[in-house]
Amino acid sequence: MEERRAYTPQERHDVDSLVRHVALADWLVLAVIVLYHVAAPDRGIPEPLLAAMAAFAAVHLLLRASRVLPDHAALKLALQPWTTVAFVTFVLWHTGGADSPLLSLYLLPIVLAALVLPGLGLAALVLTVAAAYALVAWGAGLQVATPAFAGRLFGAIAPFVLVAWLTAQLGTAILGARKRAAHAGESDPLTGLANRRVFEIALRREHEQAANRRVPYGVLVLDVDGLGNLNARSGPAAGDAALRLVAKVLKRGLRDTDVAARWGGDEFAVLLPGADLGAAVATGRRLRSAVHAAPLSVGVRTIRCSVHVGAASGPQDGHEPRDLVSVAELRMRKDRESRGGGPPAQANG
């Protein structure tokens, strides 16, 4: 499982949703224990078990309290399988030990651990369940250091291991599918860059953060020179290849914190957090040079693409995100007029 990192808003929403579902499962565990004792009129709930149930409910309410470790939702979620294992072990100790009909309650923390713990954490929890099973068997008077008990232990734990593996595989597959679906909805299908909607969201967020920190941020708008002529001469596939080339240059030439997007048609937009106007202009020049230095093969010819660039920086050029984009677009058009638009230059035949 990948290393823990800061959650995006969507990932935090997913974690919170999982916490709510686990909360329901916790109460179902308590309900099963109550029903188990209520089903037999002559079997009341022992006082130690009542105390353990109350403590289990209190701990899990505490873990879900918004004011408790507010910035560590993943940590709180990871603690829940371990507390549930401890609670279920205590329940088994008071309901028949290794022969308790409530043994299957171990499935809850194992399934949850398969979803929220890394591989080693999941393995540690399964081994803990095996040790807990041996402990309650020993407490019930069984001889645990025998081959017969080893076979019994394997028979009891093997289904849990299988469920853990299947859940982990299913969770990985679902997560991968969700990430692919999210990426498809947030990226331009031709270039793989962010789409316009994602860029506008990032721009608004950066504008708010920059205003709070009182630091500048830059915006670039680029368009590909002569794309229409290239399409007319060599076909739409050549134009698509030119757009992909520019996108590739942007991906390679920008920082991880920058956001590059397909703005529409032959235009691209770039968000540069922390960049003043001078830094934005310098970045635009560097990207223009990098695009021109990257050859593009069109049939038997190799051509050089070029881009026009306009730069703006907030708050110097405007106090609203859209104002900055408008200023950058205006400067990009002036750059086009000063340089003159035309078909991409042919490098060699």
What would the pLDDT profile of 213-240 be if each residue is shown by its tens digit? 889 999 999 999 888 888 888 888 988 9
Burial of 220 (0-12, 13-18, 19+ CB in 10 A): buried
**pTM here?**
0.52
Among residues 262, 258, 244, which one has the least CA distance to residue 195?
Answer: 262
Residue 188 neighbours by CB under 8 Å, 6+ apart? 194, 195, 247, 261, 262
H or E segment to which residue 220 belongs: strand 217-224
pLDDT cut 70: percent of the chain above it: 82
User: SS3 for 119-180, per residue?
Assistant: HHHHHHHHHHHHHHHHHHHHHCCCCCCCHHHHHHHHHHHHHHHHHHHHHHHHHHHHHHHHHH
Domains annotated on the chain, with CATH: 9-186 (no CATH), 196-348 (3.30.70.270)
User: Which one has a higher pLDDT value, 38 or 314?
Assistant: 314
pLDDT cut 90: percent of the chain above it: 32
Tell me the Ramachandran region of residue 299: left when phi exceeds 0, alpha when psi lies from -120 to 50, beta otherwise. left
What would the pLDDT profile of 271-315 be if each residue is shown by its tens digit? 999 999 999 999 999 999 999 998 888 777 888 889 999 999 988
Question: Can you count the helices (H) and strands (E) in the chain?
Answer: 11, 7
pLDDT at 1: 36
User: Which one has a higher pLDDT value, 308 or 37?
Assistant: 308
Among residues 99, 98, 108, 91, which one has the least CA distance to residue 45?
Answer: 91
If you average pLDDT over every residue of the chain, what do you get?
Answer: 82
